[in-house]
Structure 1
Amino acid sequence: MRNNGWAQEQEFAALEGIRWTQVMGWGRMSNASDEKSFEDFPYERNPNYDASWDQAAVSRAVPQLAGFPSGHLAWDQEPWRRFRDASCRRMAREFLEGVKDEVK
């Protein structure tokens, strides 16, 4: 993924929050840690995780929600160029409106 310095972390953005029952677990990390990879961090499972979320899927990439700072080089590249002058808040509302029937 271009313009993403953390692509290896496989993280996702979430609009309108994440339910606690969707969280499988967590690990505490800090910039000062000696650990070299995620496997080195102690992992704590969420006892409230609901496995029915395993059937859920993430949405497609949504470049209009990138939210790069003003003047960022990515705004001159596709696919972000066409959203350079758009309000991220408006784009988020439009995205949520478009997926509301899929997210129940």
Structure 2
Amino acid sequence: MIDLEASLGPGSPFPHDKEFSAMGGILWEQVDGWIFVTVEKDLDPLPPVDAMEIDVTAAEEVFNSLSDRYITNKDYNLEFDRFKASGGRPELAGFFAAAGKFKNQEPWSRYNESTEYYAMRFMEENGESVGWHGSFPLFGQLDVSAGNVDKEPEPNKGDDGIGKGDDKQDGN
């Protein structure tokens, strides 16, 4: 996982975001859990804003209101707890349009190879835990024709019958 804002620096179009990129994809067993979010039900409370001036406080309030709906993934592999994101990788920054001016500034100007070259090097150094085999794609094509990917999934229940979002510690 690569910290996008740290990679793009002042060239990031959304500097307040906390975005990470997963080189090649994410294994299902890496997903600790999720919150199913719909635009109509969950995001409409956000006031319309210019994409460059996101109201971070309002976004955090919406996220916090959803946290009790967290669904744990029963297939999560605890081995992934020992890994962390890589931090910024400026050699992987792909700038477009106006942000392209940063390509000629430090630290990006010292990387003269293609982003594909640096992506391969990154995976050679970091990809073993996700089954890197030396080439992309990392995974085969998924067949989603059997199910509705827009349907809210049922919560997974642990051995104790409690999903992560269901375990109220304080009795509330």
Q: Same fold (TM over 0.5)?
A: yes
Gaps of 5+ in 1: none
* Structure with greater helix percent: 2
Equivalence map 1:1-104=2 (5 Å)? 1=6, 2=9, 3-4=11-12, 5-9=14-18, 11-27=19-35, 28=37, 30=39, 33=43, 34=45, 36=58, 37=60, 38-41=63-66, 42-69=69-96, 72-83=100-111, 86-97=113-124, 99=125, 103-104=128-129
Which fold has the larger relative contact order, with Cα–Cα distance below 8 Å and residues 6 or more apart in sequence?
Answer: 2
Aligned-partner Cα distance in 2 for 1:58–1:22: 13
Superimposed CA distance per residue, residues 29-55 of structure 1 (whole angstroms, 9 cap, x where no aligned partner): 549812532212343222222222111
Aligned-partner Cα distance in 2 for 1:26–1:54: 16
Q: SS where residue 123 of structure 2 aligns? A: helix
Aligned-partner Cα distance in 1 for 2:92–2:39: 27
- CA 1:46–1:88 in 2, change beyond 3 Å: closer, same or farther? same
Gaps of 5+ in 2: 1-5, 47-57, 130-172
Q: SS where residue 86 of structure 1 aligns? A: coil
Superimposed CA distance per residue, residues 49-73 of structure 1 (whole angstroms, 9 cap, x where no aligned partner): 2222111233242211111125523
Q: CA RMSD in A?
A: 2.8
Larger radius of gyration: 2
Aligned-partner Cα distance in 2 for 1:39–1:65: 32
- CA 1:62–1:29 in 2, change beyond 3 Å: closer, same or farther? farther
| TM-score (normalised: structure 2) | 0.47
Aligned-partner Cα distance in 2 for 1:6–1:23: 25
Q: CA deviation at 1:20?
A: 0.5
- CA 1:89–1:70 in 2, change beyond 3 Å: closer, same or farther? farther
Moved over 4 A (4+): none
